[in-house]
Amino acid sequence: MDASNDFLPLMGTDYVEFYVGNAKQAAHFYKTAFGFQSLAYAGPETGVKDRASYVVRQNKLTFIFTTPLRSGNEMADHIYKHGDAVKVLALMVEDATDAWQQTTARGAVSYLNPITIQDEYGQLNMSGICTYGDTVHLFIERKNYKGVFMPGFRKWETNYNPLDTGLLYVDHCVGNVGWNEMNKWVSFYVNTMGFRNILTFDDHDISTEYSALMSKVMSNGNGFVKFPINEPAEGKKKSQIEEYLDYYDGAGCQHIALATNDIVATVTELQNRGIDFLKVPSTYYDDLIERVGEIDEDLVPLKDLGILVDRDEEGYLLQIFTKPVEDRPTLFFEIIQRKGAKSFGKGNFKALFEAIEREQDNRGNL
Ligand code: FE2
C-alpha cells in the first residue's frame, strides 16, 4: 500500500495490556521467566484508586499487567469470564484523535473517545476502538511525552532485575474468533483499519487427521502490525480453536509472537527459567535439511530445544511455541527468528498441530 493512502498509519505495537487476577505476581513471572525489566507502576500509591498496573519492558516489547482492586467492574468481570487475558493491543500512532476519527467513521465501535492526559513530563493523547470479543485497540500518541511511560505512572525501582532473554519486539498477535466469524473480522481490519489480507490458510493447509482451523493474516500498510485471525473448522475431533473459545468463553488473543535475533540462546534461557514449550517428535529433524535446505544453525541445539524451521521464497524462519502460560488452555507465546522469511511457518503446521492435539488429549478436550 502507498503510505500516502494509508488512512491509519501505525508505527508499531506500543504495548500489550493483560487483565490478570494478581498483577504483582504476573509481573514477577514475566520478569523472572521471560526476562522483562521493571519500568513503571500505577496504583493507590500514585492516586489510581481502582487498579494496580505494573509495566515491564524488554527492548521494544512493553507489557502491562493490570488487576482490579475490587469486584464489580469491567476488569474484574473480564478476568472472571476469560481468566488472565490480553485486553489491549495498543498501537503507536502520530495522531490518536485522527486514528479514532478515521476508524469510527468507517464503522469501528468506540472504546475510548480521544483524551489527553498530562503530567510534568508532557502530554499523551490516546483513544480506542473495540475489536474481536472483549479485546480492544488503543491508539497511543506519545510524541509530546517524555516521562517514563504515561501520565499516572511512576518509575518502578526495584533491586530485582533479572537479565533479559533477547526478546526484541512483537512480530504478530493472533486472534481466535468464533465459527464463521473469520471473514467478518477480516472485513473489519480491511474496512475500518485499512489492513490487507496478505496470506490465507484454509482447512486443507491446517488440518491433521483429527482437527482443523482456517486463518487469514492481516497486515497494516507498512507491515509493522500483523494480526492473523483464526476460526475453527470441522474435523473428526475438536479443533484447538474450539477448545480455546470454550475456555476463554469467546473470541480473544490466542498467541503473541515475540522476535529474537538468536533463538537458540533465547529458548535455552527461557527453558532454564521454567517456560514449557510444545515438542514435536524427534523424527521432525530427520529430513529437515532436505525440506528447508541449508541453514546457518547447527541442527543439534535446534533438535534439543525443539525449534522448528520453515522456508519461503524470501528466506527461512525459526520458531517455537510455549504451552499455555495459564491454567486455562488459552494464551501462549511464539518465539520467532526471521532470516528473510516473511511467512508464518506453514510447513510446520502439521507437526505443530499434532503436538497441540497431544496436549488437548492430555486435558481430555480432543
Ligand atoms: Fe504465530
* 195-213 residue pLDDT tens: 999 999 887 777 676 778 8
Residue range 257-268: average pLDDT? 98
- Whole-number Å distance, alpha carbon 256 to ligand 1 midpoint, is 7
pLDDT of amino acid 3:
57
- Whole-number Å distance, alpha carbon 185 to ligand 1 midpoint, is 17
pLDDT of amino acid 269:
98
To the nearest whole number, what is the mean pLDDT of the chain? 95
Q: Kindly list the distances between the CA atom of residue 292 and the CA atoms of 4, 179, 204, 304, 341, in Å, as whole numbers in the listed order.
A: 38, 34, 21, 18, 12
- Whole-number Å distance, alpha carbon 143 to ligand 1 midpoint, is 30
- Whole-number Å distance, alpha carbon 42 to ligand 1 midpoint, is 31
**Which runs of E-coded beta strand occur in 30-166?**
37-42, 51-58, 61-68, 85-92, 110-119, 122-130, 136-141, 154-155
- Whole-number Å distance, alpha carbon 217 to ligand 1 midpoint, is 10
- Whole-number Å distance, alpha carbon 219 to ligand 1 midpoint, is 13
- Whole-number Å distance, alpha carbon 173 to ligand 1 midpoint, is 7
Cβ within 8 Å of residue 133, ≥6 positions away: 82, 175, 177, 248, 250, 251, 252
- Whole-number Å distance, alpha carbon 26 to ligand 1 midpoint, is 23
- For the stretch 148-159, pLDDT in tens is 999 999 999 999
- Whole-number Å distance, alpha carbon 174 to ligand 1 midpoint, is 7
Q: Where in the chain is the domain with CATH 3.10.180.10?
A: 3-155, 167-363
Cβ within 8 Å of residue 294, ≥6 positions away: none
- Whole-number Å distance, alpha carbon 254 to ligand 1 midpoint, is 9
Task: Specify the pTM.
Answer: 0.96
- Whole-number Å distance, alpha carbon 336 to ligand 1 midpoint, is 8
- For the stretch 300-353, pLDDT in tens is 999 999 999 999 999 999 999 999 999 999 999 999 999 999 998 888 888 888
Secondary structure of residue 189 in the 3-state scheme: helix
Q: Which three cell numbers stand for residue 213?
A: 482451523
- Whole-number Å distance, alpha carbon 263 to ligand 1 midpoint, is 15
* pLDDT beyond 80 at 275: yes
pLDDT of amino acid 202:
83
* pLDDT beyond 70 at 137: yes
pLDDT of amino acid 350:
82
Cα–Cα distance for residue pair 127/182, rounded to 1 Å = 25
- Whole-number Å distance, alpha carbon 335 to ligand 1 midpoint, is 9
Outline where 260-364 has alpha helix (H). Answer: 263-272, 288-292, 299-305, 349-362
Give 355's pLDDT tier (boundaries 50, 70, 90).
confident
Residue range 354-366: average pLDDT? 88
Secondary structure of residue 33 in the 3-state scheme: helix
* pLDDT beyond 90 at 144: yes
- Whole-number Å distance, alpha carbon 236 to ligand 1 midpoint, is 24
- Whole-number Å distance, alpha carbon 362 to ligand 1 midpoint, is 23
Q: Which of 221, 184, 198, 200 is nearest to 91 (CA)?
A: 221
pLDDT of amino acid 64:
98
- Whole-number Å distance, alpha carbon 74 to ligand 1 midpoint, is 29
In the sheet with 226-233, reading across from the earlier edge strand, the strands are 196-201, 212-219, 226-233, 167-176, 252-260, 332-339, 315-321, 308-312
Q: What residues form DSSP beta bridges with 33?
A: none
- CB-CB contact of 107 with 184 (8 Å): no
Please give the CATH topology (third level) of the domain spanning 167-363.
2,3-Dihydroxybiphenyl 1,2-Dioxygenase; domain 1 (3.10.180)
- CB-CB contact of 87 with 135 (8 Å): yes
Please give the CATH topology (third level) of the domain spanning 3-155.
2,3-Dihydroxybiphenyl 1,2-Dioxygenase; domain 1 (3.10.180)
Give 4's pLDDT tier (boundaries 50, 70, 90).
low
Q: Kindly list the distances between the CA atom of residue 289 and the CA atoms of 164, 296, 316, in Å, as whole numbers in the listed order.
A: 31, 11, 12
- Whole-number Å distance, alpha carbon 118 to ligand 1 midpoint, is 36
Secondary structure of residue 291 in the 3-state scheme: helix
